Amino acid sequence: MQDSFLNIYPKLTQVQADHNLNLTGLWLAHGDEPLLQQWLVDAMRRSWHLQNLAIKRIELVSAKTWLEVLTELNSLSLFDDATAVIITGNHKPDKDVQQQLETFAIEANAGNNQNCVLWLTAKVDKRAQSSKWFAPFAKFGQVIDCNLYNENQRQQLLSLHAQRFGLALQPEAWQFLMVQTEHHLLSAYQALWRLSYLFAPQIAELNAQSENTEQPTASFSIDVEALQAALVSDAQYSVFDLSDAMLAGNATQVVKIIEQLRATEEPTPLVLWAISKDMRLILQLLDGQDPQSIGIWSSKQSLYQSACRRQTPQSVADWADILYQCDKSVKGVNRQPAWELILQAALRVTGVKLFA
């Protein structure tokens, strides 16, 4: 049987509430994201402890190491009911080992063997899945695809962790978090973990209210400004300071902030995100949309209206192009330094155009 990490992981994290989940037999977790495999091991370990399984790790230094795995599965323990063997390495089992693994899996599925084998390996492509060594895992065991294929899946997984932490990020806050952490899964997870400690009193208060009203546990909602305030940055200025300077038309301050952000190596995707967000909102206002309906806070509406008054149809005509050029430079496609183009884009919002 084959399954995805996103499908199996929520079930494993609820194992303490569901003692009927029996993790035995043959398991294969393949993927190029080690963090997903580690989370899978952590979740399965809780179930193994409930089942009183001893946990052993074996590194495959050659194909012959599989004999050590089989020996471990056949050994008896005076203190544990069975053994869970975590295997790392990419050496494939030979024909004889494949047959013994198949026999082990069949016995485990029938309830005659309480041991578990979890093999953590690199991503197995479609061609490799047709190999004979893969057959026992796919036919008699459980194959877990530990890969994330798009940003929606990444956010879905992080949302699960945020919910466990008692957090609920608003859509724009999620976008900010992804840009701030440069779409790095571990960095984003660590940021959520820090937030759970920073907002621990508010989360505890919400949980207490939920218990008193017998409602499901609520999550503390975090908007983009609360997230920005919580995430520590080495820069003297933040992208929010840049936004205020752009909207106020203070070109001198914009140059100063951009230089500070560049010197402190603030992520260029994050700076570009802040500029493009303000440009988009200004264009929507110029198109006649209501400030509140597009998410502009009342305290910021006068700044955005002031920025709109500085613009003309001619001045905003090439905003899409400058953002496109910035994006190419940030991704390394364009040879022109990204910070140069970012400065040009930021100054456009102030009403200053460096080059014709």
Residue 215 has pLDDT above 60, yes or no: no
Vertex 232: Cα angle to 230 and 233 (nearest 5): 135
> What tokens does 139 get?
């036919």
198: amino acid identity, one letter: L
d(CA 3, CA 276): 39
pLDDT at position 304 is: 92
Residues 160, 43 contacting (CB under 8 angstroms) = no
pLDDT at position 18 is: 47
CATH 3.40.50.300 location in the chain: 2-145
pLDDT at position 341 is: 94
User: For the ranges 112-121, 205-214, 260-269, which has the lowest average pLDDT?
Assistant: 205-214
The rounded percent of the chain whose pLDDT value lies above 70 is 92
For the chain, give the secondary structure using H, E and C.
Answer: CEEEHHHHHHHHHCHHHCCCCCCCEEEEEECCCHHHHHHHHHHHHHHHHHCCEEEEEEECCCCCHHHHHHHHHHCCCCCCCEEEEEEECCCCCCHHHHHHHHHHHHHHHCCCCCCEEEEEECCCCCCHHHCHHHHHHHHHCEEEECCCCCHHHHHHHHHHHHHHHCEEECHHHHHHHHHHCCCCHHHHHHHHHHHHHHCHHHHHHHHHHHHHHCCCCCCEEECHHHHHHHCCCCCCCCHHHHHHHHHHCCHHHHHHHHHHHHHCCCCHHHHHHHHHHHHHHHHHHHCCCCCHHHCCCHHHHHHHHHHHHCCCCCCCCCHHHHHHHHHHHHCCCCCCCHHHHHHHHHHHHHCCCCCC
CATH 1.20.272.10 location in the chain: 233-356
CATH of 233-356, one of 3.90.660.10, 3.40.50.2300, 2.40.100.10, 1.20.272.10: 1.20.272.10
Give the class (CATH, top level) of 2-145.
alpha beta
Mean pLDDT for all residues in the chain: 86
> What tokens does 275 get?
């500029």
Average pLDDT over residues 157-185: 88
pLDDT at position 211 is: 66
How do residues 298-332 score in pLDDT, each as one tens digit? 878 889 999 999 998 888 998 999 999 999 999 88
> What tokens does 164 get?
């466990």
Where does the pLDDT of residue 34 fall: very low under 50, low under 70, confident under 90, or very high at 90 and above?
Answer: confident
How do residues 57-97 score in pLDDT, each as one tens digit? 999 999 899 999 988 888 765 556 788 999 998 899 999 99
CATH of 150-232, one of 1.25.10, 1.10.8, 1.10.3470, 1.10.287: 1.10.8
Residue 42 has pLDDT above 60, yes or no: yes
Closest by CA to 346, choosing from 276, 284, 291, is 276
CATH 1.10.8 location in the chain: 150-232
- Specify burial of residue 268 (Cβ count, 10 A radius: 0-12, 13-18, 19+): buried
Query: Which pTM value belongs to this model?
Result: 0.67
Q: Which residue has the higher pLDDT, 11 or 143?
A: 143
Listed in sequence order, the residues at least 6 apart from 73 whose beta carbon sits closer than 8 Å to its beta carbon are 83, 85, 104, 115, 117
